[in-house]
Amino acid sequence: MIERLRPRFDAEEYGRLDYGPDSYSLMAIRSRDWRDDLPVVLVTGGVHGYETSGVHGALQFVDQHAADYVGRVNLLVAPVRDHALLHIDLHETTDTDETEFRPALAARDGKPFEPGGIPDGFYLVDDSENPQPAFQQALIEAVEQITHIAPADDKGELFGSPVGKGN
Ligand SMILES: [Zn+2]
C-alpha cells in the first residue's frame, strides 16, 4: 500500500522495530508540499499493534482524501506522537479485548477480571487534559452520516466513563 502512495507522498523509513526474530520498518508518510508556516495534522494508527483497522484507515485516508488538504496543512501519518495542532490517533476495541486482552491484563496486574462490553460502533475518547467537546461533537455528527455511533451502556457509560454530548 505504501508503495502505491510513493508517487504522491514522501514515504520514509524512520526506524525499525525488532520483535523476536522479526524486524519491521517504521514508516512515516508526509505531504509533499510541507511548509513551515502551515499547522501540522498528525494521524497515527497502530500504536497498539493488534488494532489493525487504524493502520488501514490511515492509509486509506491518505490515498483518498489527503489531496483535499494540500496547501492548508502539513499532513504526517505515522505510528508516532509529536507536537501537532491536531492529532487523530486511531484505535479500535477488538472482540478479543474481552476474551484475551482484558483477562490477560487483569491476570498481569493480579486483579479480578470484570467483564465489560465491546462498544458496537464508532466512539471518540477526548483528551482529559485538553477537552474539546465541540470538536468531538462535530466529529460524531460527521461520522454518523456514514456509520453508526456506539450507544452508551445501561449505566450511560463507555469503558466506565460517562458518555458526553459528543461521546
Ligand atoms: Zn488502542
Contact of 58 with 90, CB cutoff 8 Å: yes
How many Cα atoms sit within 13 Å of 101 on the Cβ side?
14
Which residue type occupies 92? E
Range scoring the smallest mean pLDDT among 7-21, 23-37, 74-88, 98-112: 74-88
**Tens-place pLDDT, residues 33-50:** 889 999 999 998 888 878
**Tens-place pLDDT, residues 61-99:** 999 999 999 999 999 998 775 567 788 889 988 889 889
How far does residue 54's CA lie from ligand 1's centre (Å)? 9
Joined together, the cell numbers standing for residue 116 give 465489560
How far does residue 56's CA lie from ligand 1's centre (Å)? 14
Distance CA 31, CA 3 (A): 15
How far does residue 100's CA lie from ligand 1's centre (Å)? 14
Strands (E), the chain: 10-19, 22-30, 40-45, 74-77, 86-90, 157-158, 161-162
Comparing 165 with 56, the larger pLDDT belongs to 56
* Mean pLDDT value of segment 147-157: 89
Gyration radius of the chain over CA positions: 18
Contact of 92 with 53, CB cutoff 8 Å: yes
How far does residue 78's CA lie from ligand 1's centre (Å)? 14
How far does residue 63's CA lie from ligand 1's centre (Å)? 23
* Mean pLDDT value of segment 122-136: 90
How far does residue 33's CA lie from ligand 1's centre (Å)? 30
Per-residue model confidence (pLDDT) at position 81: 53
Joined together, the cell numbers standing for residue 90 give 486511531
Range scoring the smallest mean pLDDT among 77-91, 118-132, 134-148: 77-91
How far does residue 52's CA lie from ligand 1's centre (Å)? 10
| C-alpha dist (Å) from residue 21 to 18, 24, 161 | 7, 10, 39
Per-residue model confidence (pLDDT) at position 79: 74
Q: pTM for the complete prediction?
A: 0.70
